[in-house]
Amino acid sequence: MEITSIKIKKFETESKMKAIASVTFDDCFAVHDIKVIENEDKVFIAMPNKRLKDGTFKDVAHPINFEFRQFIESRVIEAYNNAEVEA
């Protein structure tokens, strides 16, 4: 499976969430609302989720194994680092 497109919506903010990403796989499946989070000296991604009735969150889409998560995270962070801040 290949990532064929990554769209980054980067914004200037004081919060830890620095951008939202959409990732397309093999030109046929897209995952939207991947959050780019900056926490102290680390940047990482959080997969799209929804709030449950008890107030907790559950991922709507996520990688099944660590290697694929690293693959997605490295590509999204690379795109984030190269993106311009939206006006």
For residue range 39-69, list pLDDT tens digits in order: 988 999 999 999 999 999 999 999 999 999 9
Report the mean per-residue pLDDT for the chain: 93
Domain ranges of the chain: 3-82
Compute the distance between CA of residue 67 and CA of residue 52 in angstroms, rounded to an integer. 28
The pLDDT value recorded for residue 37 is 96
Multiple choice CATH, 3-82, 3.40.47.10, 3.40.50.11540, 1.20.120.920, 3.30.1120.40: 3.30.1120.40
Segment holding 58, helix H or strand E = strand 57-59
Q: pTM of the predicted model, to two decimals?
A: 0.88
